[in-house]
Amino acid sequence: MLNKARQLNLPTMKKIFPYQIFLLSFLFPLESIQSNDYLAKDSTSIVGNWKSSTWFGYYHDDGSGWVYHEDLEWIYPSSPDGNSIWIFVPLLDWAWTRQDLFPWMYFNKLQNWRYYNQENGFYDYNKNAWQSNQVLSEELQGKDANQSAGESNSTTGQNGGDDSDESAPKTYSLHVFSGSGGFATGSGSFLKGNLASISATPEIGYYFMNWTGDGVLDSNASSTSLLIDSNRTVTANFSLMQYILSVEAQSGGSVTGGNTYDFGQTVTISATPDTGYYFMNWTGDGVLDSNASSTSILIDANRSVTANFSLMQFGLTALAQSGGSVTGGNTYDFGQSATITATPDMGYYFVNWTGDGVLDTNASSTSVLIDSNRTVTANFSLLKPLLSISAEAGGSVSGAGTYEYNSNITVIASPDSGYSFLHWSGAQVANSSAATTTIHMTEDVNLTATFEASPISSLSKVEPFEMVRRMGRGINLGNVLSAPEEGKWAPAATQQYFADLKDANFTNVRLPMDFYGTRTSGDTSGYSSLSGTSGDFNGSMDDFVVSSVYLDRIEEIINWSLNQGLITVLDFHGGNLKSEFLHTFNPSNSHYLDPTSARRAADLVKFQSIWRAIANRFKNYPPELLFEIVNEPYFELSAIEMDQLNSLVISIIRATGGKNNDRNLIIVGGGENSYLAPQQINSSILASDDQLIATFHYYDPFSFTSSQKDQYDDNDWGTSVDKESVNTHFDTVKTWSETNQIPIYLGEFGADNENGYDYGSGTLRKINSNATGYADGGPDEQSRILYHQYVAQEAINRGFAFSAWDSGPTSNKTIHKRNDSNLTSNFDLSSFAVSSFEIPTVTMSTVVDSTTWVSEIKESILNYGTWPDCYGPSGVIKNPGFECSPYNENWSLKLVSSSTAEISESNSTMARTGDAAIQIKVSSDLGYNKVLLENTSFVSDLNGKRITVECWVKSSVPASFRMQLKITEKEGVEYGNKYPSSDVFSTTTEYQKFIFRHTVNNSIDAVQFKLLLGKTPATFFIDDCSALIE
């Protein structure tokens, strides 16, 4: 199409259409005809003079007025009003159209519309058919022919007259135009006097206003008539329609935008919610975005829209801190008052509310004004019950105070010296019989600690055999105080540890402790180690000072032990003791010193100085504290050297006075270990002091008891041969004890942990000296239990007190797991397994063990063996507890005159302790000395000694009796009162202790103890007699 257009030119067109050009020039002014502004304003230049119209398509405009269109070809556009266009199409005549109507075209000659299509031509809706350009041209020519014929007939007639003939009909032109907003029809040529119909049709959104121009019969009617009496021009006038936009608001807001608007106008409407409301939507037709508070609406009809609002809702989040619960959290309307309630849990109380908007922050139930999202929190706090603790006579308490609800509070009862804790009362505690226990605090509590006088003799002296009997079964607190620093090898001592021992029914504890190293000042290394230089030593015991801080700590621990009623052994024991002192006696040791050197003399004085400091610190302590001079010296010292050391230390201790005069001292011999050690003590040492107890340690056979080590591989024990070996060794010790009248204390025994286990690590115990660095074995479970059981049993059967060796959970021998220390973390043995020791292959235990004891071992040493019925040496009173068989061995009932009485054994329910007491049923009342219960005579010259005897006595009814000693005079010596007697004692139905003292004031041969019972008819029960010679 463009190529074809470029081959043509306007002059050619003017030659082809001279008549049309002339006519156009005549009908319209040139500037109007050639005005293409209407096309140009919506067109863009393409190339050359070619342009593209957004609605009319491609056309060529060279400015001459003629335009070449790609479909209509040559046209002559005219736009008289600037809002539409008349197009002259050669062959087709004039047609009218507009941007919003095209391709509809109104043909003036046809007085009708045609729809144009490039391929099909023009569509005639009257015929419902398409017409090509040629067909339409012919139709238009037919119209012209009709008009010509009409004109000829009316102007020339049949007579061939000219136009000036006034008798011919006169024809006028009617031009019908339309303003913006519609189109009008009716243009044409009409005979004078005819009525021409004209019609105005408004476009959508417009309405017809009126006709302007002369001759219109009804200028306000869109369809009317016009009397043709001259050439006429009329114009149909249109106006945009206006519509009412009604904008309303529901409750909760206001709106803008309501008014009267032109058709097609886009109007902005806005909705503004009141405080506490939010815009929901618009309802009504035509709203562009019904969910936007500010939007637009197209005006094409009367519209009514409504802005809908709703009360804003806000979330109220009600939270509770630990200790309670809350209600009231929900979603609420703006302005609502929401109730919130806080309810404390058991043991808590409500503190306050935090967060904005709460009406009363201190009220557990209050309200919140809802004007925004709110978060409020109820705060609670634990109740703090008051714990009040009081102590009865004999001790003090700690732990009182105000505490958090539901907390477990530790309370401690600390007995005074000479007392032991008995029980807690007044409230429920975890263990009412433990001095250190916990109480669960849920309310105010009044707690009372009750103490009793410690089970200590009222006498200042306890005979060694009696002391050993009282010691019974015990345990070592190993590797604690004997370490260079307390806590380095095992957890530090705690008060609870001793409570644990008491609760388990142990009756003694051995406290190994070292005083060398930094604990004692004074250096001996400056003295000569050469032989024969001992005379050069010019120092004294005052040159060496034991740390008072360390002594304070030792004293604290000893008090903890004594206050639990435990017989307590202070044992000089440790690594520094060995390296600084004991090793210097062994010729095969690198630390060996010549016995005659000044250094040896200085070391001996230092050792004595340490013992002097110990003895002075504890000289007023009760006899239940025992001193053990030194641990296992026999590996380094000979028998002679140990005799000398024993003699020196015994003298030092006794010289400090106080209760150390009669304190039981534990000694051992040198040169031989185990069961042979007591036999090495020289008889002169034994004879020098009557308050001595001999000790030995038993770890036989080492191949079993130390089988964690590479050199020992015997992991089982318990054959008859194994047991017989124990019997033989213990019988050897017992024979020596009976021969020398010295009681025995088995200070250590035990076997390694099962399978080399370390409770503190949950795996094999590390042993650096072993090839693998770990235990290469260990006793099997049953063998370890049986060994402890059998050794304990046979010791008790023979009257040996004992203390089993225990050095805590990370050692090779564990009984107490030391959970009394908060630093201890142990692991359960049952979750451990070992499949190889050569290349250690184990299943490590990770299960926490919170138990206190290796219970199987504890039970094995506590529950087997029976103390001998008749125990101890021949003293002033023999069979003092009536536990021998028969019960009345060494006792006899003597009746004088015609008095009557019976002697019998009471059952265990009537005994004060043990299984038996002696029962004397007196039926007569002839006088005290008519019924006598007599013990056998004790042969000894007790000149200058004070004899103290005591017995526990009760009677079936209130009664009276006296005690008496019968003195056997030495030949040739007159004694005087040979029957010293006590005052009269009054008995009740409860056991009471009665004491009688007599000082022997001359040499005698013997003394015999008697009870005089013949005064009151009653049944007397007598138990637990004892005698002390001072």
Axis crossing angle, helix 781-797 with helix 720-740, rounded to the nearest 10? 30
For residues 800 and 815, give the distance between their C-alpha atoms in angstroms, rounded to a whole number: 20
pLDDT for position 418: 67
Residue with tokens 């063990």: 849
Among 259, 281, 311, the domain boundary falls at: 311
**Percentage of the chain with pLDDT > 90?**
64
Which range is least confidently modeled, 12-26, 294-308, 495-509? 12-26
* 20 has a pLDDT exceeding 50: no
Q: Is the peptide bond before 464 cis (omega within 30 degrees of 0)?
A: no
Please tell me the predicted confidence (pLDDT) of residue 85: 86
Same domain, 199 and 67: no
**Across 656-660, average pLDDT:** 94
For residue 326, the surrounding DSSP H or E stretch is: strand 324-327
Residue pLDDT, tens place only, 418-457? 677 888 998 888 778 778 888 988 888 899 999 876 544 4
- Would you say residue 521 lies in a domain? yes
* 487 vs 165, residue with greater confidence: 487
Average pLDDT rounded to a whole number, residues 860-877: 83
Whether the pLDDT of residue 21 is over 60: the answer is no
- At residue 32 the predicted structure's pLDDT band, cuts being 50, 70 and 90, is very low
Q: Does the structure show a pLDDT above 90 at 922?
A: yes
pLDDT higher than threshold 90 for residue 1026 = no
As a whole number of angstroms, the distance between CA 411 and CA 447 comes to 9
Predicted local distance difference test score (pLDDT) of residue 4: 36
pLDDT of residue 35: 52
Our CA angle for 707, 815, 433, nearest 5°, is 170
Using N-to-C axis directions, what is the helix angle for 495-503 and 548-563, rounded to 10°?
A: 30
- The answer to whether residue 176 sits within a structural domain is no
Greater confidence (195 vs 156) lies with 195
Q: Is residue 879 part of a domain?
A: no
Q: Output 146 or 667, whichever has higher pLDDT.
A: 667
Instruction: For 842, list phi and psi in degrees, rounded to 5.
Output: -135, 160
Alpha helices in 17-71 (DSSP H): 18-27, 30-33, 37-40
* 720: pLDDT strictly greater than 90: yes
User: 468 and 407 share a domain?
Assistant: no
117 with 212, same domain: the answer is no
Locate tokens 């929190």: which residue?
377
In a domain, 158, yes or no: no
- The predicted structure's pLDDT at residue 143: 67
* CA dist 130 → 95, 269, 300 (Å): 17, 48, 34
Helix and strand numbers (H, E) in the chain are 17, 66
**Average pLDDT score over residue span 845-872:** 90
Residues 6+ apart with CB under 8 A from 794: 726, 727, 730, 865
| Same domain (yes/no): 470, 602 | yes
439: domain range? 386-453
Is 22 a domain residue? yes
- Alpha carbon 856 to its chain centroid, in Å, reads 34
Asked whether residue 170 is assigned to any structural domain, the reply reads: no
Q: Looking at the predicted structure, is the pLDDT value of residue 1 above 70?
A: no
Strand pairing report for 374-382 and 348-354: antiparallel
Structure confidence at residue 971 (pLDDT): 84
Domain boundary at 862, 879, 912, which? Answer: 862
* Domain boundary residue, one of 311, 346, 371: 311
8 A C-beta contact, residue 880 and residue 952: no
Nearest residue to 1028 via CA among 195, 603, 625, 463: 463
| Residue 695 maps to a domain | yes
Same domain, 253 and 329: no
**pLDDT, tens digit (0-9, with 9 covering 90-100), for 60-116:** 888 878 888 877 888 888 877 778 888 888 767 788 898 888 888 888 888 888 888
By mean pLDDT, which of 311-315, 602-606, 792-796 is the weakest? 311-315
pLDDT of 434 reads 76
Give CA–CA dist 829/757, Å, rounded.
7
Phi, psi (rounded to 5 degrees) for 575: -70, -40
Q: Which two tokens stand for residue 364?
A: 């557990």
- Average pLDDT of span 738-746: 92
Chain-centroid distance, C-alpha 422: 37
375 and 468 fall within a common domain: no
* Residue 8 pLDDT level (bands cut at 50, 70, 90): very low
> Are 687 and 590 within 8 A, CB to CB?
no
Give 697-710 as a DSSP string.
Answer: EE---HHHHTTTST
Average pLDDT, the chain: 88
How far apart, in whole angstroms, are the C-alpha atoms of residue 424 and residue 410?
13
SS in 3 state form for 353-377? Answer: EECCCECCCCCCEEEEECCCCEEEE
Same domain, 586 and 700: yes
Q: Are residues 286 and 333 in the same domain?
A: no
Residue 330 is predicted with a pLDDT of 96
User: Does the structure show a pLDDT above 80 at 573?
Assistant: yes
* Lowest mean pLDDT, pick from 149-158, 255-264, 824-833: 149-158
Residue 761: pLDDT band (50, 70, 90) is: very high
Half-sphere exposure (CA, 13 Å, Cβ side) for 724? 3
Q: Is the pLDDT of residue 17 over 60?
A: no
Give the model's pLDDT for residue 120.
81
Beta strand pairing call for 473-476 and 801-804: parallel
pLDDT category of residue 874 using cuts at 50, 70 and 90: low
What's the number of domains the chain is made of?
A: 7
- Ramachandran sector of residue 530 (left: φ over 0; alpha: ψ -120 to 50; beta: rest): beta
CATH (domain of 546): 3.20.20.80
pLDDT tens digits for 238-268?
Answer: 999 999 999 999 999 999 999 999 998 999 9
Quick check: is 843 in a domain?
yes
Q: Check residue 624 and give its pLDDT.
A: 95
Same-domain check for residues 730 and 842: yes
pLDDT band at 162 (very low <50, low <70, confident <90, very high): very low
Number of other residues whose CB lies within 10 A of the CB of residue 827 = 21
Residues 355, 277 within the same domain: no
- 402 with 472, same domain? no
Burial (0-12, 13-18, 19+ Cβ within 10 Å), 160 = exposed
Structure tokens given for 976: 């005087």
Handedness of CA 179, 183, 186, 187 (dihedral sign): positive
Mean pLDDT over residues 261-282, rounded?
94
36-to-23, 42, 51, 701 alpha-carbon distances in Å: 19, 11, 12, 133
**Judgement on whether residues 922 and 988 belong to the same structural domain of the protein:** yes
Long-range contacts of 7-10 (CB under 8 A, 24+ apart): 8/68, 8/74, 10/62, 10/64, 10/66
